[in-house]
Structure 1
Amino acid sequence: IFVLNFGNRLCYETTEITMSVEPNFDQDMADEQSTISESANTVYYGTSLADIPNLIRTPPILSDMQDIHDPGHAFLIKPFKYDPSNPDREPEPIHGMEKYMDAWDDDHVRLPCSLGNVTRDGRHIWPIIQKALAQLKQKCDEKTVTVHDIKTTIEESNGMNFEIDCLKQLINKVFSAEERAIFLYTILSKMISLALNVGTICGQPPPLLRKESNRSVTMSQRQASSLLACGFFCLFPESHSRHPTYQSLNFTHLLKRGAPWKIEKLKCILHYFRRISENMPKGVLTFRRFGFLKNSDPKWIESQVPLSNIHMIENTTIEDQHGFLQVDFANEYIGGGVMNEGIVQEEIRFTICTEMLVSVLFCEVMLPNECIYLIGCEQFVAYSGYADTFKAKASFIDKTPKDSWGRKLSQVVAMDAIYFQNPIDQYTISCMNRELFKAYVSFHLPKSMNNFAFGIATGNWGCGAFNGDRHLKGMNYE
């Protein structure tokens, strides 16, 4: 892991107000972070971690939501300000609790409840989905539901055959009898309710965060859970013919038989649904797409800026570096193979921080001059291993404090490296410039925040399956 002393675009707007954070957690976490890699049993190289600016120790100042007038920032919630003395207060949907404003166009996610969601012969699909889900929920409540009933519901909702053998194996063979009963009779019922109420929970469809546009969407954790529940039941109209540059949030491939680690991924995701069914989190999330114009490359040869300080440590993970901008070694299609068999750095992060999966729904493929920020996403699961040794371990209680918008002080930037089929290509000027510019975009600090900086937690970006040279990438970070 590298932790760099670097300025960064935080996706925050500045103003003269005081930052709100949860009491006790902020300084405790900062103190723990500053000593974690400097204990007697740990060797590190470079700058002391305590000397690198930390987001939790020195949180940024935020404008109130109602003062944000950026047409590129869509809010699915009413203006909300987090009050640490009332942590159970929950954001409301933008149009109120029972109102849904539909949109069925090329600028928004096409929700399954939309009137525009019709069959080829013009029949509305949502009533079909409602009937199938209601019947499944009744079986949950009667404690007669089986995995086959889930399969039937997905098939009736989509009008086609589905294979869900991975889910079947997890529930019928891996889960204990108690775990199986809790999922089928309690958790599944609440997932159905989240999917059935997606319209009133979200209030309106999220916007698509298209390439070559600096756009953001802010939503509640409940709204994210509703969208994820729709994905589990594969309810989103397939749009690859319409938008081939987006991935699908439908669990179509994740539920199918496949590699053993798919079961471990599903364990994590179903644990997320268990956690939110027991206690729905009341926080806020922001997803932001940011990019520079293609002709705005910095003049590296003229730069007089000194190299950054670096703290290097082994045997830890990026997500353990609290209070720093954390790098997601992203695929150009955000999430990479998370909705299928992929299970390396990006897919693991999206699996244990399950709300990150929502970005798959509305983030278009990234261009070389773009990155995507995932702000406030909570971690729900602890894990061990990597790739084919990945294992879901236990529930994770994320104590990261919140900002005044109600978002966890967790900043992740998705930045995609080049895949070098021939590794020698990475030493060309064009490839080095591309990787430098991607890092420049991802770590950029706007002029309005020149006096603010914090560390960046990263590692061997693009140096695994993408065949990058970690020494060369290290110079990119510098």
Structure 2
Amino acid sequence: MGSGPSADATQTKGTDKHRRNHRRSMAAHGDHRRSMAAHGDHRRRTRSDVRDATEEESREMFEEYMNDDRSAEIIHKGVPFEAIIKRFRQPPILNPMDAIKEENTIFTFKPLKYAPYKPDTEHDVESYNDRWDKYHVRMPCSNDYISNDRKPIWPKICEHLSFLKAKCDSREVKFKHLKTVIEDCNERSFDLECLQRLIDPIYSKNEYRNFMYVTLPKMCDLLLNIKSVCTQPLPLLRINENRSVSMQQQQAAALLACAFFCLFPNRSGRTLRTEYEDYQNPNFEALYQRGPPSKIEKLKCILHYFNRVTDHMPTGVITFQRVVLPKSEYPQWPELKTDLCDLHLTTGDKIEDIPSVLQVDFANKYIGGGVLGSGCVQEEIRFTICPEMLVSLLICEVMECNECILLIGCERYSSYKGYAHSFQFAGNYTDKAPRDSWDRLWCHVVAMDAIYFQNPSTQYHMKSIERELLKAYTSFRPLGHDADSKFGIATGNWGCGAFNGDRQLKAIIQLIAASEARRPLVYAAFGDRKLVTSFSALYEHLKKERATVSDLYYYLMGYCRDQPEQSLFDYILMPPASRFQKK
């Protein structure tokens, strides 16, 4: 490759700041400190790692979200989006459910056709197959969920729910009755300030009546009949296990109704068991507690979901899948001569609005991040407008560096506006995505967690870069072997914002990973005209010079080694690729 022209002044905001921080602090941070930052997945984890953006970070992200460029003309660069989409069948062809033989592909309902070679997938909907062990969700309706006097707790919970339903049916229900039932079911007090503020002073009379008189009693009914809806506890998707679980949307609704009443045992507070230390708390109690206005807006979305599904229960299927990349398949980046993938860049679309692609969730390693707390950025917003995704908090253990989680078929129910502290529920959303042959909405989301760089300079160490490359490749690698499984990927400024990532560095990392996965990349830098323009110019230069995956890897090595003043994009454009080849 030859040398190219220097990039123009279209550098990503924050790049120069990160480079200055890098040069000042590299000497002060030894290899041990940098290694810990790069491999934070392997230290002992606690739920304190699920961090919400600070008020200052939220304000900064909102200012970036609302900067002047966002009102400017939308620009598109690179390969046309239509050319990427038309290359693949929409949705991809799937094997029939009853033809699936893998023991790690689990259905919580009877497949569309009876499979005699896999009889355990046919469940009697009239009976509940109870399990109470560390491999499955511990359900509140289990006979093994007992009180101190050794009696099952579920009958008492049913009494409380029946009382609440009667109050709703007679239209005598007040918020105090809901609060009492939540507390009586759990035998402890709760801070429900945000929930109370929404239902009492904020909801209009019609909204109050609809939720308290119509939706809430149907939620009680759903729980009172949960053993006939969820006929077995969900298996947990544990670390280092390639496994998927597919369920009906009605089953997801019943599980989320449990979370609404905070019924899942051993997941929080004084009842937290060691076996769940590396899982999120799926109960909604933290969302109910006093907090910023965005918590109430998230509750509006979730209660709107319950209004929708209790009025007309969806009948489709959703899938959660944990993907583990074995070490034998780790890419050897310096040796890969793979050509760069097709790239489309846009300032006009949000990731969730780009159809027929794998949509990237900028995840916390504890999936969902702060969605049930005060967090309200990309991942939390996505889970709020698509509440079926919250089921993943119930079953997914923390992600390791070679793991990702797929969420397939989760329906979107809410529109929204704003971001971070300005987030607001904006009414109903009708999801018009087509369905695949498993009756899942054609919506594939991958949760991939980036490193949180408390000190931004540590991201320019190759151990950090190699970790992010591994995570991105694990998430982008197609699971099928046919051409249609290599449909496009929609991503953006992954690991930036509150996680302090350099946008240009993350863009190159994702380009490398998508190229090695042989999948086209749709880069949605919403409103960020500078990044789209500079990334497009760089990509055109790289394609002209026939750059490969290994070329980009050596550029990153050189950038970390040389610690130059200029941005990464400028650095790549200046010298020839051969400068970084091994002697």
Q: Please give the range of the TM-score, normalised by the shorter of the 2 chains.
A: 0.7 to 0.9
Matching of residue 62 in structure 1 with residue 90 in structure 2: no
Distance between the aligned counterparts of 1:54 and 1:108, measured in 2? Answer: 41
Partner residue, 2:295: 262
Matches within 5 A, 1:248-287: 248-287=281-320
Alignment of 1:190-205 (within 5 A): 190-205=218-233
Q: Which runs of 5+ in 2 are unaligned?
A: 1-71, 114-120, 512-583
Match of 1:26 in 2: none
Q: Please name the residue that 1:175 is paired with.
A: 203
CA distance in 2, matches of 1:210, 1:217: 12
Distance in 2, matches of 1:302 and 1:414, equals 28
Stretch moving more, 63-72 or 205-214: 63-72
For 2:300 and 2:479, locate their aligned partners in 1 and report how far apart those are by CA, in whole Å: 40
Aligned pair partner of 1:233 in 242, 250, 261:
261
* Contact kept? 2:371, 2:384, Cα under 8 Å: yes
The residue number in structure 2 matching 1:334 is 367
Bigger mean CA offset, 408-417 vs 295-304: 295-304
CA contact (8 A) 1:248 1:361 kept: yes
Q: What is the alpha-carbon distance in structure 2 between the residues aligned to residue 127 and residue 56 of structure 1?
A: 52
* 1:451 to 1:401, Cα distance in 2 relative to 1, 3 A: closer
Aligned residues with identical type, % of pairs:
50
* Shift in Å, 1:56: 7.6
Q: Contact 2:479–2:485 (CA<8 Å) still a contact in 1?
A: no
1:296 Cα deviation after fit: 3.4
Q: How does 1:25-424 map to 2 (within 5 A)?
A: 42-53=74-85, 57-80=89-112, 94-239=122-267, 240-242=272-274, 243-294=276-327, 296-424=329-457
Q: Which amino acid aligns with 1:435?
A: E
Counterpart AA for 1:141: D
The DSSP-based 3-state class of the residue aligned with 1:286 is strand
The 1:208/1:199 distance shift into structure 2, 3 A limit, reads same
Kindly state the Cα deviation for residue 73 of structure 1 after the two structures are TM-superposed: 1.4
Cα separation, 1, equivalents of 2:230 and 2:79: 45
* CA distance in structure 1 between the aligned counterparts of 2:206 and 2:88, rounded to whole angstroms: 39
| Amino acid aligned to 2:435 | K
Gaps of 5+ in 1: 1-39, 82-92
Q: Using a 3 Å threshold, how does the CA distance of structure 1 residues 117 and 305 change in structure 2: closer, same or farther?
A: same
Q: CA deviation at 1:386?
A: 0.4
C-alpha distance in 2 between matches for 1:129 and 1:449? 49
Give, as a single letter, the amino acid of the residue that structure 1 aligns with 2:189: N
Q: Secondary structure of 1:434's partner? A: helix
Residues 156, 451 of structure 1: CA spacing in aligned structure 2 closer, same or farther, 3 A cutoff? closer
> What CA distance in whole angstroms lies between the structure 2 residues aligned with 1:325 and 1:269?
24
Superposed displacement of residue 443, structure 1: 0.6
Q: Deviations over 1:205-228 (max 9, x none)?
A: 000000100011000000000000
Q: How many residues align?
A: 428
Q: Describe the shift of the 1:358–1:447 C-alpha distance in structure 2 as closer, same or farther (beyond 3 A).
A: closer
Q: Distance in 1 between matches of 2:288 and 2:344?
A: 41
Residues 94 and 203 in structure 1, CA contact (< 8 A), matched pair in contact too = no
Write the letter of the residue equivalent to 1:153: V
Q: Which has the larger radius of gyration?
A: 2
SS of residue in 2 equivalent to 1:322: coil
Distance 2:186 2:122 in 1: 29
Task: Let me know the Cα RMSD of the aligned residues.
Answer: 1.6
Residue 57 of structure 1, CA deviation = 4.7
TM-score (norm 2): 0.72
| Mean CA deviation greater in 113-122 or 147-156 | 113-122
Deviation at 1:253, TM superposition (A): 0.9
